[in-house]
Structure 1
Amino acid sequence: MSDRHEEEAALATLLEQERDIQFAAFTHADAWTVGTHLVELASERLHPVAIAIMLGDQRVFHAGLPGASADNDDWLERKFRVVRRFGHSSLAVGTDFRSRGANFDVDSRLNVSDYAAHGGAFPIRVNGMQVGVVGVSGLPQREDHALVIEALIAHRDREV
């Protein structure tokens, strides 16, 4: 299978995650629950990450674990801008560009110091509407994404 076909298959999986991981409501208390769960997971695994959750334009949760730096905070901001602009996870956006044989950094025509289509930021949706973003930075991009997904699925499944 070619790289583009692999990226197309990965994109389908990422978009399915976005359809599946939605909430009936997502409050400040939910952000605290998800954020602290991410801190627990990352701490147990000794991951040097920064974690942030935004509701609208307000940062409602932030944590920097040992080994993370201000650079990770910058990466989070750049990933969050991608999610806000494109309405999809930062990994899905980068994967979409690759699946079309394109390079986000060049072909998006966006300033790379402001936008990063690397995994780790995921939209928070309530009944289909994007109300926020949750993100992790500090690991390889697919691992950042996977950690966010793990925490969001655990929270969604508690909701049911």
Structure 2
Amino acid sequence: MIRQEQQLRFLSFKNAEALAFARAVEDVIALKNLKPVAVRVVFDDVTILDYRTTGRTSSGWLTRKVHTVLESEHSSLYTFFHSQETPFSQWKDSDEYAICGGGFPLYVNNTLRGVFAVSGLDHEEDHLLLVTALEKVLEQSQKKTSF
């Protein structure tokens, strides 16, 4: 997970990348025939994308996953696997945090600037969906900058 967090970082980030992320999530869901999910992207303390795939209603888990990532500066799945450690152990019974997968830090030039969050599947599947979509977005972003 640490390797993913180190590799899946942006050199620059604009709202268009958030939209590309939602589209990549849609593509992966269609390809793998997954259940509908809720998607949120927070950048510089502003929710710039709040999206539900067809068939998904709201999800309170998104807010909790966002809080977890912002507070820990790691993916929410990282906190799940380190949940016995302080301060994560104190978050288990909190309504503010989600000690489960589906939240991922949005780093720009090695600075935490926001969060990508997905909710609706098993929490480890949420994480995998999120990482797969981020890889697609970053791959496309690198293709654009290489011309």
TM-score category of the 2 structures, normalised to the smaller one: 0.7 to 0.9
Specify the alignment match of 1:37 in structure 2.
24
Could you list the runs of 5+ residues in structure 1 that have no partner in the other structure? 1-13
Distance 1:110 1:84 in 2: 16
Could you list the runs of 5+ residues in structure 2 that have no partner in the other structure? 143-147
Q: CA deviation at 1:68?
A: 2.4
User: Matched residue pairs, number?
Assistant: 141
Tell me if structure 2 keeps the 8 A contact 1:80–1:133.
yes
| TM superposition outliers: structure 1 runs of 4+ over 6 Å | none
Q: CA deviation at 1:110?
A: 6.6
The letter for the 2-side match of 1:36 is R
After superposition, the Cα gap between the structure-2 partners of 1:66 and 1:103, relative to the gap in structure 1 and judged at 3 Å, is: farther
Q: CA deviation at 1:109?
A: 4.8
Which structure has greater helix proportion?
A: 1
Post-superposition Cα deviations, 1:47-73, rounded to whole Å, max 9, x if no partner, equal 221111111221111211244232x2x
RMSD between aligned alpha carbons?
2.0
Specify the alignment match of 1:5 in structure 2.
none
TM-score by structure 2 length?
0.86
TM-score by structure 1 length?
0.79
Tell me if structure 2 keeps the 8 A contact 1:25–1:126.
yes
- Matches for 1:47-66 after TM superposition, within 5 Å: 47-66=35-54
Specify the alignment match of 2:57 in structure 1.
69
